[in-house]
Copies of this chain bind each other. A is one copy, B any other.
Amino acid sequence: MDITARIERSLHTALAPGATPPLLNLAMQHAVFPGGARVRPRLCLAAAEACGGDDPALAEAAAAAIELMHCASLVHDDMPCFDDAATRRGRLSVHRAFGEPLALLAGDALIVLAFQTVLRAPIRHPERLAEIMRIVADSVGTPTGIVAGQAWECETHVDVSAYHRAKTAALFAGASMAGAAAAGGPIEEWRAVGERLGEAYQVADDIGDAISAAEEMGKPVGQDAALGRPSAVRELGLRGAVARLEALADAAAAAVPPCRGRAGLGALIREGARRLLPKTLPAGAM
C-alpha cells in the first residue's frame, strides 16, 4: 500500500463516526477530508521507513496524530477571533460550514483524537508509546509548540525566532521525530530534518501568500501584509525567498542522520520542497 493510502486509511479509521454526536463528527471530517498535501504525515512515515520501519501500525498512528493536530490548528486559526477565514482548501472553513460552537469543539476533539489515535493503535512496540506521545504533545503545546507559536502573535514583545520555530517548524520537527521514534530510531537526530523542512514550508507559504491568486490557494491571501506578520518575501524579495526555500530543503536533506533510506529520502525532500512553490511563480524568480 502506498504512503498516501496508508495516511488516508489511518485518518479514516481515527474519524469513524461511532457514538460521536453526528454533527461534531461531520465537522471533524470536514476539517480533515479532503486533505491538503499531507506533508507532515508523509515526513513522519518517510522517517519511520528510513529508520527501518519495523512497526508500520505505530508509524501510521503517529503520522495520523500529527496530521490531526495540524487540522485542529487550522480549524481554530480560521475562526473569527483569528483569521476569520471563510474558506480553506477551496471549501467553506469549518466555522462557516458548521458554526463557531462546533468549530471550537471540533478543534478540541481533534487534539484529543490525536492522542487517542496513538493510544488505540494495534502496535508491536508499546514501550515506544510514551516517547511518541511526548513528541506529539511538545510539538503542539507549551512552551514551544504550534499553539505557543500562535500565541506569540498576541504578545507586544515578540521573540521572532521563537515565534517562527514554534508556529510552523515545531510540528514538522515533531513529524520527523515521531516517525523515527515509531521505528525505534534515534530521535533528537531527526529534529533538524523537520525543522528545516518546516522553515522551508513557511517560506513557501509566505511566497504563496504574496503572489498567488485566491483561486489557487483556496483560502484568502495577502494576509501577512494585511496583518503585519513577518514574511520571507518582505525580508528577502521574491527571488531571495525562493533561493532561501531551496537552501532550506538542501539543509533538511543534509540533516537526515545515517540510515538505510538516507539518499532516497534526501531526494524526496528536495523534490517535495520544490512542489511547494506556487504554479504561477513569475518567470525569473527561480
| Residues of A in contact with B (beta carbons under 8 Å apart) | 18-25, 28, 72, 76, 79, 81-82, 99-102, 104-105, 107-109, 111-113, 115-116, 119, 126, 129-130, 133-134, 137-138, 140-145, 147-148, 150-155, 162
Contact = CB atoms under 8 A, between A and B. Distances in A.
A20 B82 contact: no
A177 to B, nearest CB: 14
Contacts of A130: 119, 126, 129-130
A104 B76 contact: yes
A132 to B, nearest CB: 10
Which residue, of A134, A138, A151, A155, has the highest number of chain B Cβ atoms within 10 A? Answer: A151
Given A79-B104, A112-B137, A24 B148 contact: yes
B76 A108 contact: yes
B109 A82 contact: no
Closest 9 CB pairs of A and B: A112-B141, A81-B100, A24-B151, A19-B143, A20-B143, A20-B142, A21-B151, A109-B147, A18-B143
Contacts of A113: 141-142
A151 B26 CA distance: 12
A104 B153 CA distance: 13
Nearest to A153: B101
A24 B148 CA distance: 7
A155 B79 contact: no
A105 B145 CA distance: 11
Contact of A111 (B79, B112, B134): B112
Nearest to A76: B104
